[in-house]
Amino acid sequence: MAGLEGLRHVSIGRYVPRDSPVHRLDPRVKVGGLGVLVMLVAVLSGISGLAMLTLAMLALTLLARIGLRYMWSSIRPALPIIIVLLLLQLLYTPAQPDDRILLAWGAIRLTWPALRLVIVALLRFAALMLAVGVLTGSTTSGALIRGVEGLLRPLVRLGLPAHELALVGSVALRFLPLLGEQLESIAMAQASRGLAETRGRWHLVANARRVAQTIVPLFVDVYRRSEELALAMQARCYNGGKGRTHLIEQHLVGQDWLALAALTLLAALAIWLQRLP
């Protein structure tokens, strides 16, 4: 049960309050920018283009004054697994006869294509980690929701329920800490009834049962709470996004257009760099 303390402080990519140009950007620009970056990173496979994107994200992190230590602390726990996996990939990618061999040592052959794959995977990982980190570090959850809703607004005419989707997101973020607390108390209640601790890997059934005994009550609790919330909203005559106005009206100002221009330039450059190896 040791890992359960502090569950209530669950947060996705903690917000870092700073006064920076990135923090002041319109959330729609930031969310859309992340979308474009994710697509670029997934599609591009050239080392130079990905390296350029990674450097750009690094610069953005510095500009947002989020601090590299914060970024590093979110990557560090994963580092051993990443290194082992990349080493495995490096050594076990089957060599084609005409590959350039960089290093031959006993049965181990290090080929250029294998090394290339590993570098590409690392760069993709770094660029995405930084991009997600900058977004969640520089945007409050409320602004994030507003950004998503604003981006989806044009699709309302096609029948997409933008407001409702944003509401789903805000309910989730609002109740996440509460559910964390609930999970903690369920786990403690079950432990006090003598529910077994996590056992070794071979105690499959015992482990599955332990997880089930914690999660099923949580699910039932979730269902009960959601019924209550829906009833409360009905009682207050909530009727969705139709004809709703907002306290904060979002307008794109100079810096937002500047950021969009920079993003376009970055994307064009990255695609152009794709022609290099």
Partner 1 sequence: MDDRGIRRVVLAGFLLALTLLLVFTRVGMIPMPTPAGNATVAHIPAIVGGLLEGPLVGLIVGLGLGFASFVNATVPMFKDPMVAIMPRLFIGVVAALVYAGVRRLDKRGLLAIGVAMLLLLLGASWQLGRERPIMGVIWAAVALAAAAALWFWLQREDVALVRVGIAAGAGSLTNTVLVLGMAVVRAYLTLPVAAGIGLTHGLPEMIVSALITIGVVAAVRNLGGRRRRQAKRSSAMSGRKGG
Q: Residue 258 CB, nearest distance to partner 1 (Å)? A: 27
Q: Does residue 201 bind partner 1 (CB under 8 A)? A: yes
Tokens of 250: 């979002």
By beta-carbon proximity to partner 1, the closer residue of 19 and 235 is 235
By beta-carbon proximity to partner 1, the closer residue of 64 and 166 is 166
Contacts (Cβ under 8 Å, ≥6 apart) of 269: 49, 52
Nearest-5° angle of CA 157, CA 162, CA 166? 170
Q: Which one of residues 68, 220, 258, 268 is an interface residue with partner 1 (CB under 8 A)?
A: 220
Q: Which of 60, 25, 64, 35 is nearest to 253 (CA)?
A: 25
Q: Does residue 200 bind partner 1 (CB under 8 A)? A: yes
| φ and ψ of 97, to 5 deg | -60, -35
Do residues 16 and 89 lie in contact, with contact meaning Cβ atoms separated by under 8 Å? no
Show contacts of 140-143: CB within 8 Å, 24+ apart: 140/15, 141/15, 141/170, 141/173, 142/170, 143/27
Tokens of 180: 């964390």
Site size toward partner 1 (CB under 8 A) is 67
Q: Which one of residues 104, 155, 160, 215 is an interface residue with partner 1 (CB under 8 A)?
A: 215
Residues 26-45 touching partner 1, rule: CB under 8 A, are: 38, 42
User: Which residues make up the interface to partner 1 (CB under 8 A)?
Assistant: 3-4, 7, 10, 12-13, 38, 42, 77-78, 81-82, 85-86, 121-122, 124-125, 128-129, 132, 164-165, 167-176, 179-180, 183, 187, 194, 198-202, 204, 207-208, 211-212, 214-216, 218-220, 222-223, 225-227, 229-230, 233-234, 238-240, 242
